[in-house]
Chains A and B, each alone.
Chain A
């Protein structure tokens, strides 16, 4: 059974990390806070997969993934749509930390 660190409904902040080699965590989500809306399975993280470590046997690390929903107005300065607009994307666990609510 996958051990999920975060639960559906948890508010999470994407780590404001730098890009070392390959990642699939978009820069526009880093440092932004959203809510976990769905679990995904454990997948090999793209940071390993990019180097041919695409299975556990080859050294690829499995990690739980989550669907995180952001409010568009939290992602972009001067968002021109409406307040209810959202964006969803999948994020691996090590890119997430408990929400830093002070930024919201």
Chain B
């Protein structure tokens, strides 16, 4: 077999040990807090482990429940913070430790045939973590943050999402206290599905607003048709 690609065409991958100013600040504050006994290193590790394992399943359950229960949907749209308690998520104290960044308001944005919502935080990377877990890397990049507000349709197209001129693309820049989550429309072909089945197709990206739920697409396995090991 020929071996014709050019190894000289790209530089070798370099490991970077550079630490950003924010990382230095975080370490300094963390070490001070540990020294002062506000929390222990073990507390910090356990919190990080827990926070990084939340995932988007809380949001999926909210949407699936709203799709099957119109009264719950009304409550969710009227008061997201309160309605979340019905699926076991307490926004005002999600960690049980009351980290200040969690004391925020929560609003659910309903997609309709004429309005498509999508969320961003241009100032930092605000994200509804109690219901969606940690944000994806791209959500935190300056590239997504500055381009989604300026060229929303182009950015959505890069995610494979296209809307005509009869659909209002509504960008929500979560710059203050509130956090947002998109409630996508229930796709055709899901009639008679259980709440659990419905939740499986409400993936993270559909609740950010850069994708739409598909009947044959869940995040728990590779997309159908993909031959990842072929």
* B171→A24 contact, CB < 8 A: no
* Chain B residue at minimum C-beta to C-beta distance from A90: B176
Q: Is A81 an interface residue (CB 8 A)?
A: yes
Contact residue among A80, A88, A90, A91 (Cβ-Cβ distance under 8 Å from B171): A88
> In whole angstroms, how far apart are the Cα atoms of A26 and B176 in the complex?
10
Instruction: Report how far A40 CA is from B172 CA in the complex, Å.
Output: 15
B170: CB under 8 A from chain A? yes
Q: In the complex the two chains form, is B171's CB within 8 Å of A87's CB?
A: yes
Instruction: Say yes or no: B168 contacts A43, CB within 8 Å.
Output: no
Query: Is B170's CB under 8 angstroms from A85's CB?
Result: yes
B149 is an interface residue with CB less than 8 A from chain A: yes
Contact with B along A49-77 (1 / 0, CB 8 A): 00000000000000001000100100110
CB-based contact A40/B105 at 8 Å? yes
Judge if B60 is at the interface, Cβ distance under 8 Å: no
B140 in contact (CB, < 8 A): no
Known: A26-B123, A40-B178, A90-B178. A85 touches B152 (CB 8 A): yes
Q: Is the CB of A90 within 8 A of B170?
A: no
- Assess whether B173 is in contact with A88, with CB atoms less than 8 Å apart: yes
Q: What is the size category of the interface that chain B forms with chain A?
A: 20 to 34
Inter-chain contact B152/A81, CB cutoff 8 Å? yes
Q: Is the CB of A86 within 8 A of B175?
A: no
Given contacts A82-B165, A87-B149, contact A65 B177 (CB under 8 A): yes
Identify which of A65, A75, A81 contacts B153 (C-beta below 8 A): A81
- Nearest CB of B to A88, in Å: 5
Q: Which of B150, B153, B172, B177 contacts A76 (CB 8 A)?
A: B150
The chain A residues found within 8 Å of chain B, CB to CB, are 24-26, 28, 40-41, 43, 46, 65, 69, 72, 75-76, 80-92
Chain B interface residues toward A at CB < 8 A: 105, 122-123, 149-154, 165-178
Known: A40-B176, A40-B177, A89-B172. 16 other contacts (CB 8 A): A28-B149, A40-B178, A43-B177, A75-B149, A80-B153, A81-B151, A82-B153, A84-B165, A84-B166, A85-B153, A85-B171, A87-B172, A88-B172, A89-B174, A89-B175, A90-B177
